[in-house]
Amino acid sequence: MKPRRLLILTNGHLCRNPRVVKEATTLGCAGHDVTVLGVRNYPPAEAHDTSITSGAPFRWESINLLPRQGAASFLTRLRLRCWREVAARLGQPTVHALGPATSLLARARAIPADLTIAHNEIAHWTGLRLRQEGRRVAADIEDWHSEDLLPGDRRSRPLELLRRLERDLLGRCLYTTTTSEALAQALHARYGGLRPAVITNAFPLQAAPRPGRPAGDRPPRFFWYSQTLGPGRGLEAFVRAWALTRQASGLVLLGEDRHGFRSLLLELVPSSRRAAVEFLPFCPPESLPAEIARHDLGLALEDRTIPSRDLTITNKILQYLNAGLMVVATPTAGQREVLSRQPAAGRLLDFGEPAAAAHLLDGLLSDPANLARSQSAARTLAEDTYCWEKESPRLLRLVQESLPPAGPAPAAPTVNSSA
């Protein structure tokens, strides 16, 4: 494969975009000259990004929105604020409600590339603008952005714009990718165009889990993680059911507490059982697999009422399989897709009726032999199907087929960056 110049666009920090990191690493290790262009807007993520980029086979460039970072950062944040205030007064949400789209476009125009791959909302907008200007562009649709989030969080979002972007991505990009067969089919049914190729959120295989978990000196532990500990993630319904279980177990939740959500969850648990609930802060991506492997049952509690959450296959369920945890999942279309390949790897549960769900959880906790079989089946499913070693060849093939004929990459066009 002849090395080529590739540009990957995203809307945030590397540590919050594991799909981007896997893609950039794979393409860089294949010999391509890879630049990732994103946005820095969250100070605690800086150290994690530094860890990821140390020795990485790609370059990291960014639009800096961090406070107290000099005049350039201040002006970018001021310009973004002005855009948002104008849009709010007019009552017409725009792409600028989602991030520094014009700044991302201006910087992307200055980076020559044989192929640009756009991830996430403002990167999708940027990629389509570059496509209009003659660039070769592909896109990844990890989430169905126009059909995501709780109703209250959707009010300020430019939903019609997002739908136009999604339609144009499928109709105009060299290829698109997404996370599940269910989401690929839904996007194609809605917009037509080229059906997205499926590259799941799988991770490279980690060290094989130790046999015989849980340890004999403690009860089994349920584990859940996300960047944020907050509403809309299915935790309230699970905790109500778990609080009614009779079998001993622990509950470990990892993520940054949002607006005191931790206290709200603890109020759902009898005081006599609160000591069995443990909260962990968000940890670096490189530390997460080992942390997951310390537990026994992984919780994938996606909300079936949100189409994006229903159809996707998230990082969670695939990392649980990788670490050899039995999966306890809500019956979303994406999670049914995973467990249909190996039903013994987990259990689909509806937590709408807490007492009934508690009874089923007790059944899982009271059968150590079945738990061990499920853990083994989970790891086998990761090894056979849901690991990055299976996904990366598909990515490399898509990229290779989308590159122009061998020759020098085009120079960055001179375009007015205020467009």
Given a cut of 80, whether residue 11 has pLDDT beyond it is yes
* Cβ proximity of 115 and 403 under 8 Å: yes
Q: Tell me the pLDDT band of 418, cut-offs 50, 70 and 90.
A: very low
Place of tokens 């109500």: 240
From 74-88, 304-318, 351-365, the region with the lowest mean pLDDT: 74-88
Whole-model pTM over 0.85: yes
> What's at 219, amino acid-wise?
P
CB distance 137 to 9 below 8 Å: no
d(CA 49, CA 67): 17
- CB-based contact 37:62 (threshold 8 Å): yes
pLDDT one-digit tens code per residue, 283-342 = 888 899 999 999 999 999 999 999 999 999 999 999 999 999 999 999 999 999 999 999
Q: Which two tokens stand for residue 244?
A: 């009614």
Taking alpha carbons only, the member of 170, 164, 105, 161 closest to residue 133 is 105
The stretch 240-254 carries a mean pLDDT of 98
Encoding tokens for residue 385? Answer: 């199907």
Q: State yes or no: pLDDT of 247 exceeds 70.
A: yes
Q: Is 303 exposed, middle or buried (0-12, 13-18, 19+ CB in 10 A)?
A: middle
Q: Which pairs with CB-CB distance under 8 Å and at least 24 residues apart come from 84-91? A: 88/156
The reported pLDDT for the residue numbered 211 is 63
Domain boundaries, the chain: 5-202+389-402, 221-384
Which tens digits make up the pLDDT trace of 180-190?
A: 999 999 999 99
pLDDT at residue 414 is higher than 50: no
Mean pLDDT of 360-365: 98
Q: In whole numbers, what is the pLDDT of the chain averaged over residues?
A: 91
CB of 105 closer than 8 Å to CB of 417:
yes
3-class DSSP assignment, residue 227 = strand
Task: Read off the pLDDT band of 97 (50, 70, 90).
Answer: confident
Amino acid identity, position 4 = R
Tell me which residue of 81, 361, 95 sits closest to 220, measured CA to CA: 361
Question: What type of residue is 383?
Answer: E
Q: Which two tokens stand for residue 179?
A: 């996370």
> Which amino acid type is present at position 126?
T
Question: 373 in helix, strand or coil?
Answer: helix
What does CATH list as the number for 221-384? Answer: 3.40.50.2000
What would the mean pLDDT of 131-144 be, rounded to a whole number? Answer: 98
Q: How far apart are CA 144 and CA 140, in angstroms?
A: 10
Sheet strand arrangement including 326-329:
277-280, 250-257, 221-229, 297-300, 326-329, 346-348
The CATH code for residues 5-202+389-402 is: 3.40.50.2000
The DSSP H or E segment spanning 280 is: strand 277-280
Cβ atoms < 10 Å from Cβ of 266: 14
- Sequence-distant (≥ 6) Cβ neighbours of residue 182 within 8 angstroms: 310, 311, 312, 333, 334, 337
Average pLDDT value for residue range 28-35: 98
**Counting beta carbons within 10 angstroms of the beta carbon of residue 397, is it exposed (0 to 12), middle (13 to 18) or buried (19 or more)?**
exposed
Cβ-in-10-Å burial (0-12, 13-18, 19+) of 327 comes to buried
The yes-or-no answer to whether 5-202+389-402 and 221-384 have a common fold is yes
CA angle at 21 for the pair 51 and 54, rounded to the nearest 5°: 25
Summarised one tens digit per residue, pLDDT across range 110-124 is 999 999 999 999 999
Reported as a pLDDT band with limits 50, 70 and 90, residue 98 is confident
Confidence band for 153, pLDDT divided at 50, 70 and 90: confident
DSSP string, 70-129: -HHHHHHHHHHHHHHHHHHHHT---GGGSS-HHHHHHHHHTS--SEEEEESHHHHHHHHH
pLDDT digits (tens, 9 = 90+) for 366-403: 999 999 999 999 999 999 999 999 999 999 999 999 99
Higher pLDDT, 405 or 406: 405
